[in-house]
Chains A and B, each alone.
Chain A
Amino acid sequence: EPEVTQTPSHQVTQMGQEVILRCVPISNHLYFYWYRQILGQKVEFLVSFYNNEISEKSEIFDDQFSVERPDGSNFTLKIRSTKLEDSAMYFCASSAGTRGETQYFGPGTRLLVL
């Protein structure tokens, strides 16, 4: 069964450093998402992406964040200058459509900012 994959599974970085989290969505899906989950808290929507551009973004997704689909398979989340409060689990998801379609989540990348 096709699945969303994410790399790395864990990332430790120093405050102020740039990180890139990578995702490979399910191959025939057209809509891609990033979510984050701070330890012990709710899963929060960050951004949605369709047709090579951002569809929607939450207030969390500030100028420090960017997303890209550099080729036909990868979908990346870049945090330009990490802060301590960026420490969280980051999940990528994809869906075939937006009209209430199921979103399939990857296993997540646990980011720790020191």
Chain B
Amino acid sequence: SQQGEEDPQALSIQEGENATMNCSYKTSINNLQWYRQNSGRGLVHLILIRSNEREKHSGRLRVTLDTSKKSSSLLITASRAADTASYFCALGGGADGLTFGKGTHLIIQP
């Protein structure tokens, strides 16, 4: 089944800095989604990028997709304390449901 793996597993940066996390996968995809999960809470959808797209923006978020390298990156610019969370890439969807990786745990130091 499709599965993405996030890297790094954990990331700690100072408030105001940019945070970059990556997702690698092995199968062909139609799209890739990024979600955020605050500790003990639900998953919040951030961005969906389709296989024919290379880059997508949403506010301070920038997602890239390189299907030749089977990888995606999520960039959070000008990080804030509220960005502290776990970030997941998710593949698949449709009837088979989404497959999530283990996530990147991001800590923003004030």
Contacts and interface: CB of A to CB of B under 8 A. Distances in A.
A56 B97 contact: yes
Given A98-B93, A98-B95, A42 B101 contact: yes
A42 B100 contact: yes
Contact of A108 (B31, B41, B100): B41
Contacts, number: 66
Contacts of B30: 99-100
Interface stretch (A14-22, A43-51, A68-76, A80-88): A43-51
B99 to A, nearest CB: 7
B42 interface: yes
Main SS of the interface on chain A?
Answer: strand
Most buried by A among B41, B43, B88: B43
A42 B50 CA distance: 23
Given A48-B96, A56-B97, A100 B41 contact: no
A33 B41 contact: no
B88 A43 contact: yes
B32 to A, nearest CB: 9
Contacts of A102: 33, 45, 48
A95 to B, nearest CB: 7
Contacts of A105: 35, 42-45
Contacts of B31: 100
A35 B41 contact: no
Interface of B: 30-31, 33, 35, 40-45, 48, 50, 88, 93-103
Closest 10 CB pairs of A and B: A45-B97, A98-B94, A55-B95, A100-B31, A107-B42, A105-B43, A43-B100, A56-B95, A100-B30, A105-B42
28 contacts: A35-B98, A42-B100, A42-B103, A43-B88, A43-B98, A43-B100, A44-B100, A46-B97, A47-B97, A48-B96, A48-B97, A56-B95, A56-B96, A91-B42, A98-B93, A98-B95, A100-B30, A100-B48, A100-B50, A102-B48, A103-B98, A104-B45, A105-B35, A105-B43, A105-B45, A106-B42, A107-B42, A108-B42
